[in-house]
């Protein structure tokens, strides 16, 4: 099973940016944690992080041509602004789970809006970086593979 893990703007700064909200693990630590989790479950993860909206859209399209089984995406602040990312997920029709490290419902009002959510089959938030693992659990259970 192939799952693409996509992270949007500023998530390369994990561990450095606002550790009170996003924790002290680095982006590399996050990838290592997900890789380990996937190894034990026969899942092939692929990672992509970009600070650019178009690059994120291109990576979602690429997932279609690679016949990916699922996408886990933390679009960062593009969650709250990007109809283009919503359309990209709708375009590929791949089961997609939205992840947020923090609980966006308990922060500023502008973080309550998620455009991408309506194209996603599930959302995980406020569980720190473990949220990515819960997203993978959801995708594997949904397709009846893994675990």
Q: Is 37 considered catalytic here?
A: no
CB of 117 to ligand DQA, least distance (A): 12
Q: Is 7 in the site for ligand DQA (CB under 6 A)?
A: no
One residue of 5, 71, 101, 119 binding ligand DQA per CB under 6 A: 101
- Integer Cα distance of 147 and 136 in angstroms: 10
Q: Out of 100, 115, 132, 138, pick the active-site residue.
A: 100
Q: Is 52 considered catalytic here?
A: no
Q: Residues 109 to 138: which contact ligand DQA by CB under 6 A?
A: 111
Q: Is 102 in the site for ligand DQA (CB under 6 A)?
A: yes
> Which residues belong to the active site?
22, 100
């Amino acid at each position: 099973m192939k799952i693409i893990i996509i992270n949007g703007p500023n998530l390369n700064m994990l561990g450095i940016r606002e550790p009170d909200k996003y924790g002290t693990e680095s982006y590399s630590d996050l990838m290592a944690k997900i890789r380990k989790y996937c190894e034990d479950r026969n899942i092939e993860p692929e990672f992509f992080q970009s600070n650019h909206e178009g690059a994120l859209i291109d990576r979602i399209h690429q997932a279609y041509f690679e016949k990916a089984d699922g996408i886990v995406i933390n679009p960062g602040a593009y969650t709250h602004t990007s109809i283009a990312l919503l359309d990209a997920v709708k375009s590929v029709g791949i089961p997609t789970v939205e992840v947020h490290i923090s609980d966006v419902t308990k922060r500023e009002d502008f973080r309550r809006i998620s455009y991408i959510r309506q194209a996603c089959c599930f959302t995980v938030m406020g569980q720190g970086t473990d949220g990515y693992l819960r997203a993978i659990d959801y995708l594997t259970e949904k397709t009846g593979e893994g675990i």
